[in-house]
Every structure is written in C-alpha cells, then in structure tokens.
Amino acid sequence: MNILLIGPQGSGKGTQADLLAPKFNLIKIATGDLFRSAMASGSQLGESVRRYYDQGELVPDDVTLSVVAERLDSIGEDGVAGAIFDGFPRNLAQAAGLDEALASRTLRVDHVIELVVPEDVLVNRLSGRRVCSKCGAVYHTEFQPPRSENVCDVCGGELIQRADDTPDAIQRRLKLYSEQTAPLLDYYRPRGVLQQIDGNRPIEEVQRDLEAAVVEPANA
C-alpha cells in the first residue's frame, strides 16, 4: 500500500506519517528529511540542495526523483509493505515521475490524503516550530514547548529554528504550495484515490481519521 500525504507546510504531514508508517509496515519517504540529513552529513547531494532549501525553493525534479527512486527499492524487502510519502510529489512532473517509478516496480499510488488547515494556523505553527539539532524531534514554542527552554526532552540536544521557517521563506513555501502542489489534487481526483481530512484538530483525531481512510477503499 502506497499513501501520499498532501498538504501545505505545517499541516502535520510529517507527524502523521511517523504515526502511520509503523502501524502498516510502511517506510516513510519524506524528501525534506532526506535533504536535511544530506546537508547535515555534508555530502555532495547536501551541498547541491542547500541553496534551494534555505530559500524555500524546490530542489530540481531530477535530483528529487532520483532520491525517491532509491528508497522505493526497499519496498517488498524485509516485510516492507509500501511507502508513505511526505512532501513528495510537490508538482505535476514529480507526480508523473512517481507514477512511472512505481509502475516499473508493479506498484501504484493507492491513497492520496489531503490534510486541510487554514493559512493563519499554518503560519502560526511554522513560525513557532523548533527542531532538535541532534535527533530531529519537533516542538512548538507555544503548543508543545520542551520541558526546559531550547533543550530537547528526548536527547538533550539544542533546539533550533529550521532555516526555511523564517517569515520570508514561509510565505514563499506557502505560495509555491498553492501554485505547484495544490493542482495535484486534480491530478489524483479522477482516479478515486483522493480523500480530505480536516488537519486543524488534535493529532490523535487526525490520526484516527487517517487510519480509517486508508483501511477502507477510497472510492467505496
């Protein structure tokens, strides 16, 4: 089973993907996470994506697609039942590339879930977001503060603001979402795989609906 989570930055895709993946034996393919770890490791890939990332611009499609294709090869190995995609595809070219990459492995997109959250809530979530520089745990200054200021509850690492969570980059990313990613909804809708979930609710409620959505056939 392969599931796409679609929604603007801050809609909770990463949080929900982390919760869903282990329940259904899925690997999480989050291109943003893959780019962040490439940058942290100082690899050539990391250096080549940094200038796009820091500006809140999209990394070129060929680079993004090759990173994803590599991860698809683990589906079917060691009990991996499929993938849940977070932050990919981000435009029509990537969606078409994903279809091709899945088809060549006799796989397909089974569910597309849109997480719907109003823009003012997104801006608030993103501007207060802090992440652990060591383990990647995510906090919010107001809604989910760490026990001690700027220190990760999990590993004691320093909490930082993502380079692309600045006001300018947030605006650019939300604009890119509505221009390039939102049209994907029309791409998937005719296939009967698309469902919408209200993402402006507590994490557990969103999670419950998401699980129900992928257990029942999308077009039932």
Q: Where in the sequence numbering do the catalytic residues fall?
A: 13, 90, 129, 162, 173
Q: For 74, which DSSP code?
A: T
Nearer to ligand AMP, 44 or 208 (CB): 44
Residue nearest to ligand AMP according to CB distances in the complex? 32
C-alpha 175/C-alpha 154 separation (Å) is 34
> Is residue 165 at the binding interface for ligand AMP, with CB under 6 A as the rule?
no
Q: Give the helix/strand (H/E) hosting 21.
A: helix 13-23
> Is residue 164 at the binding interface for ligand AMP, with CB under 6 A as the rule?
yes
Q: How far is CA 199 from the centre of its chain?
A: 14
# binding residues, ligand AMP (CB under 6 A): 17
> Is residue 52 at the binding interface for ligand AMP, with CB under 6 A as the rule?
yes
The mark string for 80-109 relative to ligand AMP (x by CB under 6 A, - otherwise) is: -------xx-x---x---------------
Among 2, 11, 16, 31, binds ligand AMP (CB under 6 A): 31
> Is residue 64 at the binding interface for ligand AMP, with CB under 6 A as the rule?
yes
Nearest in space to 154 (alpha carbons), one of 167, 169, 144: 144
C-alpha 197/C-alpha 136 separation (Å) is 26
> Is residue 35 at the binding interface for ligand AMP, with CB under 6 A as the rule?
yes
Among 7, 56, 82, 97, binds ligand AMP (CB under 6 A): 56
Query: Regarding beta strands 82-86 and 26-30, do their DSSP bridges make them parallel or antiparallel, or are they unpaired?
Result: parallel
Contact segment (CB under 6 A) with ligand AMP among 51-59, 132-140, 152-160, 186-194 equals 51-59
- In angstroms, the Cα distances linking 82 to 105, 108, 144, 158, 200 are 11, 10, 31, 34, 27
